[in-house]
């Protein structure tokens, strides 16, 4: 048990998320009164007003004995873009806690005090203020406490993304279409997906209502242009081909086909892909598909609940190439149960000859709602140093294959405190991924569980409008989902 007492401030959420980085899986309890503390680890976080200005202070005790010296941060000296005083206080408190925990713990925290999903946003904000690369790297490593390699990584990604994000255009928006059906539920999955075998009789009605929502959105968005479309899930290829074909044709019917610069369909799992599906997607001029192995080790595929082999992945990939797809993404997950350095090397060697244009490397996140969170003790899971070494192997591989990082995000409960990185050949970047992740363009989400993000460029602000996560509720409440978006847009 980790005990925490906040004095002079109430940044409980920020403090909780940062402590979790160092004490993954530990229970964290916030004390109202220090008399509640008897033994165990106590983190004392103070905001103090002195004659010299505001200070943030952290002390750590174990069984009533001080085990880490007091770390004091001068709030006034924090230099982070055009920050408000409140933001500087928050950063100072986190810096003080980070320094104290780093002094005490053996756990690495390569992302410093950052616990959010989108660290590249900081780079964009600083570039918007005309900061130089050296100034940005200094801010990332000194104020946010990032390791130098992470700072350089998001700096490079931010610079690459600028050509796809700027100049901002309020008349453009992207569309995300949710297909919430899968053939089986993978061990690590926390998405609200439904077993296609149990819900097959719902698919046609779902597609009907999805297309109805699309038609309402067409009227709502008026003359604004669709820039990118992404059909994800779930596993979109799990539904019958004719239903997926209906959805794609409805996009073209309702929106200007010529304005769509990129159309992605997550074909996903080889056990849902056949020649007919691939031909249908190709005939519909889909630019980009995903064939996602996650691993090329057959034993691991069985553990995570996949009903296909590594050979099936390779065969499906070559079939897609023969039919004519020239941008294929492959997803990998680092840190899967029973996997270590040799297993990730085997996966990378297996896809070396395939030469995908995109490679997305995820670090396993242990999410509530996944089967894995309640079964971790049944599997051998890599430690932080091993996961770091596995990620290094993917970086070496990407560099050898001339795949360059172009987008990055982090997740809560991520193994080893690392990140997810999308790599692409030059000029083959997924534009939707960049726009969605950096939140510089409105994204309209259609279907069960889809989230719309309305972007207000003058305020640099996002308003999130989620669709309901229940299939039955979505089918009954589509008009309500559209009206929520209309209210936000107005």
Q: What is the mean pLDDT of each run of 10 residues along the chain (490 residues)?
A: 96 95 90 91 96 94 91 92 83 97 92 94 94 96 97 98 93 96 71 86 97 97 95 94 98 96 92 95 96 93 87 96 96 92 96 96 73 59 88 97 97 81 97 96 97 93 95 97 94
Asked if 146 and 413 count as a contact pair (C-beta separation under 8 A), the reply is no
User: What's the gap between Cα 372 and its chain centre?
Assistant: 18
DSSP of 226-269: EEEEEEEES-GGGS-HHHHHHHHHHHHHHS-GGG--EEEEEEE-
Angle at Cα 30 formed by Cα 373 and Cα 68, nearest 5°?
95
- Exposure pattern of 327-358 as b/e (b: 16+ CB <10 Å)? bbbbbbbbbbbebbeebbeebbebbeebebbb
Write out the H or E segment, with its range, that includes residue 423: strand 420-424
Between helix 341-352 and helix 384-400 the angle, nearest 10°, is 20
Asked if 1 and 40 count as a contact pair (C-beta separation under 8 A), the reply is yes
What per-residue confidence (pLDDT) applies to 377?
A: 58
Nearest to 203 by CA among 242, 163, 229: 242
What per-residue confidence (pLDDT) applies to 413?
A: 72
What per-residue confidence (pLDDT) applies to 142?
A: 96
Q: How far apart are the first and last CA of the chain?
A: 47
Q: Given the DSSP bridges, would you call strands 404-409 and 420-424 parallel, antiparallel or unpaired?
A: antiparallel
Measured in degrees and rounded to the nearest 5, phi and psi for residue 116 equal -80, 175
The CATH fold of domain 167-484? pyruvate-formate lyase- activating enzyme (3.80.30)
User: Is 1-104 assigned to CATH 3.40.50?
Assistant: yes
What per-residue confidence (pLDDT) applies to 371?
A: 56
Place of tokens 């995300």: 176
């Amino acid at each position: 048990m980790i005990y925490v007492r906040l004095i002079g401030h109430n940044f409980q959420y920020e403090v909780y998320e940062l402590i979790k980085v160092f004490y993954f899986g530990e229970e964290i309890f916030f004390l109202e009164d220090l008399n509640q503390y008897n033994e165990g680890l106590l983190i004392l976080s103070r905001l103090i007003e002195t004659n010299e200005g505001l200070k943030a202070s952290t002390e750590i005790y174990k069984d009533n004995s001080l085990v880490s010296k007091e770390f004091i941060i001068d709030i006034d000296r924090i230099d982070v873009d055009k920050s408000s005083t409140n933001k500087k206080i928050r950063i100072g408190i986190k810096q003080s806690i980070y320094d104290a925990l780093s002094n005490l713990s053996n756990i690495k925290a390569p992302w410093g005090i950052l616990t959010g999903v989108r660290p590249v946003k900081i780079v964009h904000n600083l570039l918007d203020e005309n900061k130089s690369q050296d100034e940005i790297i200094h801010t990332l490593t000194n104020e946010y406490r990032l390791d130098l390699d992470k700072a350089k990584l998001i700096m490079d990604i931010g610079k690459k993304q600028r050509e796809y994000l700027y100049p901002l255009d309020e008349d453009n928006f992207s569309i995300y279409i949710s297909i919430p059906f899968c053939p089986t539920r993978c061990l690590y999955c926390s998405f609200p997906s439904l077993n296609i075998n149990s819900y097959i009789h719902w698919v046609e009605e779902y597609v009907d209502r999805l297309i109805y929502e699309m038609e309402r959105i067409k009227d709502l968005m008026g003359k604004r242009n669709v820039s990118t479309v992404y059909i994800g899930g779930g596993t979109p290829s799990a539904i019958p081909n004719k239903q997926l074909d209906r959805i794609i044709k409805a996009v073209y019917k309702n929106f200007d086909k010529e304005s769509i610069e990129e159309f992605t369909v997550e074909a996903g799992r080889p056990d849902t892909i056949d020649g007919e599906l691939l031909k249908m997607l190709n005939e519909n001029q889909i630019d980009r598909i995903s064939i996602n192995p996650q691993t090329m080790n057959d034993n691991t595929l069985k553990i995570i609940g996949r009903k296909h082999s590594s050979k099936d992945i390779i065969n499906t990939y070559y079939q897609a190439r023969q039919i004519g797809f020239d941008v294929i993404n492959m997803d990998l997950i680092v840190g899967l149960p029973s996997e270590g350095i040799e297993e990730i090397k085997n996966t990378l060697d297996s896809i070396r000859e395939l030469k995908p244009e995109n490679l997305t490397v995820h670090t396993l996140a242990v999410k509530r709602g996944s089967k894995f969170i309640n079964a971790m003790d049944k599997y051998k899971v890599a430690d932080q140093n091993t996961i770091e070494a596995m990620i290094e192997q993917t970086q070496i591989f990407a560099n050898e294959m001339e795949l360059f990082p172009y987008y990055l995000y982090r997740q809560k409960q991520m193994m080893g405190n690392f990140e997810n990185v999308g790599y692409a050949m030059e000029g083959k970047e997924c534009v939707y991924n960049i726009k969605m992740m950096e939140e510089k363009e409105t994204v309209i989400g259609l279907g069960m569980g889809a989230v719309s993000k309305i972007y207000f460029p003058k305020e640099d602000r996002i308003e999130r409008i989620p669709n309901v996560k229940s299939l039955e509720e979505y089918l009954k409440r589509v008009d309500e989902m559209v009206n929520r978006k209309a209210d936000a847009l107005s």
